[in-house]
Amino acid sequence: MTVDQLRALLKAQPFQPFTVHLADGRHVFVHHPEYTVIAPSGRTAIIYQPNDEFNIVDLLLVTDLEVKPSVATQPNNP
C-alpha cells in the first residue's frame, strides 16, 4: 500500500468510508476524509474517530484498504 493510494481514497468524490487493515490483524475505519492526517513524510497517518479517539498508523504496515459499496450504490436484488 502506498500513501498515494490512501490519498486517492481520501480525495474520492463522492467519498466512501473505508477500512484500513494492518499487518498485525487490526483494522481502523475511516469515517470521513477530514478525520485523517497524513504526515508530510508520508510514513504515518493519524486516523480520528467520531468520539475523538485516534490511531497512529505506520503506513508501511498497511496490508489492505477496503472500500465497501454504500447501500445506495448496491444493485437491488428482486
User: How many angstroms separate the CA atoms of 13 and 72, rounded?
Assistant: 15
CATH number at residue 20: 2.30.30.100
Query: pLDDT digit string (tens) for 52-73?
Result: 999 999 999 999 999 988 766 5
Domain contains 15: yes
**36 occurs within a structural domain:** yes
Q: What is the largest CA-CA distance in the chain?
A: 49
Q: Using an 8 Å Cβ cutoff, are 37 and 45 in contact?
A: yes
Q: How confident is the model at residue 9 (pLDDT cuts 50, 70, 90)?
A: very high
User: Does 55 reside within a domain?
Assistant: yes
Q: Number of folded domains in the chain?
A: 1
In terms of pLDDT, which residue wins out, 77 or 12?
12
Domain for residue 27, yes or no?
Answer: yes
* pTM of the full structure: 0.84
